[in-house]
Amino acid sequence: MSAKWLKTVSATLALTLGTTMVSAETLRAVTDPSFVPFEMMDQDSGKMVGFDMDILAEVAKRAGFDYKLNTMDFNGIIPALQTGNVDIALAGITITKEREQIVDFSDPYYDSGLRLLIKKGDDSIKTVDDLEGKKVGTKIGSTSYDYLTKNIDDDDGVTPYPGSADMYMALMSGSVDAVFYDAPNVGYFARTKGKDRVTTVGPLYEGQQYGIALKSGSKWLGKVNDALASMKEDGTYKDIYEKWFGPMPEDQ
């Protein structure tokens, strides 16, 4: 076997590998930077971290695409996918029939719901029924905002905020009497920055499931679903879940 032949084969392999690496498609990914612990800015590294960010990185690796991540307010994510300015999004996005009309969703990857958050010691609010005539903070474009406007007769006090930090600050300062939002997010705040000052109350409303959103007709939908399925099968999903939320319920 000649050295010249070996050099030719090596060069061909290098070219093939290089072409394969270059040809990996880069998707335009987007998230909402304020939905902790799903996505949040790490102050030390300046990078987005969180449950969704770990899921996205693993899905991309298994599905075979690269991505460039940007952030935007939650209420702009679905329109950005709809217009094709964004290819893929993870931001604790609840799968709804209305959203399914305009974007593609992966198989569900997280079970959630809506929950009330109030100041500790406030005995006047125990359920959504107690919100009539109260000031309630929620998030613009969220399913929690839709739920409130549909289920509270006197919804003049419902105030939508652009970010979750804004509505939590409003609760702590007394500008609103309660916050109504996604259960994992309000629960995380109650255990961390709001510890000993706020608490969750009442049942879980509207059992929901989060999905990875892609622009309608995306060729990556099947590969994303395959990646999620393989992550759950080999235990990688469980490892990521427990990193951010603690022990995973047996039924998930």
pLDDT digits (tens, 9 = 90+) for 196-213: 999 999 988 988 899 999
Provide the percentage of residues in the chain whose pLDDT is more than 90: 72
Residue 37: asked if its preceding bond is cis (omega within 30°), the reply is: yes
Hey, which of 38-42, 57-61, 159-163, 185-189 has the most confident mean pLDDT? 57-61
Mean model confidence pLDDT for the chain: 89
Q: With CA atoms as reference, report the closest residue to 141 among 28, 29, 30, 32.
A: 32
The whole model's pTM is what?
Answer: 0.73
List C-alpha distances in Å: 182 to 127, 201, 235: 15, 13, 25
Sequence-ordered list of residues with C-beta below 8 angstroms from that of 35, at least 6 positions apart, any chain: 50, 52, 74, 91, 92, 164, 182, 185
Banded model confidence at residue 15, pLDDT cuts 50, 70, 90? very low
Q: What is the dihedral angle through the alpha carbons of 130, 132, 134, 139, rounded to the nearest 10 degrees?
A: 90
Summarised one tens digit per residue, pLDDT across range 76-104 is 999 999 999 999 999 999 999 999 999 99
Sign, CA dihedral 145-150-152-156, equals positive
Summarised one tens digit per residue, pLDDT across range 128-178 is 999 999 999 999 989 999 999 999 887 788 999 998 899 999 999 999 999
* Residue 47 CA, distance from chain mean position: 16
Tokens of 237: 């999903």
Provide the 3-class DSSP secondary structure of residue 70: strand
Residue 249's pLDDT is 67
pLDDT at 7 over 60: no
Quick one: which H or E segment has residue 26?
Answer: strand 26-31
Contact criterion met (CB below 8 Å) for 138 and 180: yes
